A and B are shown apart, each in its own frame.
Chain A
């Protein structure tokens, strides 16, 4: 179980570093290849970052692991040592917190 956790964490970290290194110096138009309005994207980017910063670390972790890194609920629960019930509530609270903060910050529903 512990080995599995380490493997998942290691893979996540490696993927994260790989992506970060690959994208750290790319141009904005490469980061958003389909975007026509870079200024609008930058504004959206700032908004998302601002909203994420308003979440608790646990909410951020659960939300990003699920929505961005594609881990399943059970995988997140195993990784963070949380029960299925706990991860269910945590994911919902993270989603709701993000939605509310996003709307409060001026984002469109």
Chain B
């Protein structure tokens, strides 16, 4: 009965054939095999097995899950580093945050009077310009829960008044309104109401005999007569009004 003088196991021979052994061992076994019948027999059995498998049509291996095995391992390789590095990243970030907090605390504690620093307060100061203070109206929104008053700034009403002054108020003024103003809103603003715009039943030209709502929609203008300066200021301060102009009416025919 032949015996392997090196007592090589089939597992070692399998590894040798697959070149999985250290180079020196690979070399030693390679020189041993030509003189070892048992090793040759074992290798012949491997060769026969390989021959059996290689005789199979490649298509016959399609039903096996060798590709699933490979894919699973590739995916494991893909996921592996991520799974192992994510906790490390989290620990590093947490450590960095703690370090930063410690540095900030140390720095703050070294500041003179740091412990007496007042807490941050939100203060709101409203400084009104003297030139516009008189022109601003402070109104509190009834629905607002804020304790701060809501200022609704308006322009100086005097800047809207033309061809009129406190000492020279013409008999007639034409008031121009915004395009969004309705006729009712426009008429309500005028304390004396719109001017009766006819001459004993004859329309003044170029003004129409009446200022119907349809006409107002086009002109966005009303006439007023015998206004006082204070009335003009109130009218000019209204947000619907864009301009108050002293004017003279065409004479009655």
Contact = CB atoms under 8 A, between A and B. Distances in A.
A64 interface: yes
A11 B204 CA distance: 99
A16 B10 contact: no
A66 B18 contact: yes
Of the candidates B45, B55, B56, B76, the one having the most CB atoms from chain A within 10 angstroms of its own CB is B56
A2 B53 contact: no
A92 B70 contact: no
A44 B77 CA distance: 37
Q: How large is the interface on A (under 10, 10 to 19, 20 to 34, 35 or more residues)?
A: 35 or more
A57 B61 CA distance: 12
Contacts of B15: 73, 88, 91-92
Interface string A56-73: 011011011111100011
A104 to B, nearest CB: 14
B14 interface: yes
Nearest to B81: A2
A20 B71 contact: no
Contacts of A102: 49, 52
B54 interface: yes
Interface in A68-85: 68, 72-74, 79-81, 84
B125 interface: no
B56 A57 contact: no
A67 B46 CA distance: 9
A74 B21 CA distance: 10
Interface string B49-89: 11011111111111111111111011011101000000000
Of the candidates B46, B59, B63, the one having the most CB atoms from chain A within 10 angstroms of its own CB is B59
B11 interface: yes
Interface string B15-27: 1001111000000
B57 A23 contact: yes
A16 B62 contact: yes
A9 B62 CA distance: 15
Contact of B14 (A12, A23, A91): A91
A13 interface: yes
Given A61-B70, A95-B49, A20 B59 contact: yes
Contact of B58 (A19, A67, A79, A98): A19
A71 B174 CA distance: 100
A57 B66 CA distance: 7
B49 A98 contact: yes
A61 B72 CA distance: 11
A98 B46 CA distance: 11
A39 interface: no
A12 B68 CA distance: 12
B60 A49 contact: yes
A6 B74 CA distance: 8
B41 to A, nearest CB: 11
B8 to A, nearest CB: 12
A-B interface, 8 closest residue pairs, ranked by CB to CB distance from nearest = A73-B18, A61-B69, A19-B58, A73-B20, A92-B11, A88-B15, A92-B14, A31-B57
15 contacts: A5-B74, A9-B70, A12-B67, A13-B67, A32-B55, A32-B57, A58-B69, A60-B64, A60-B65, A88-B15, A88-B18, A91-B18, A92-B14, A95-B46, A95-B49
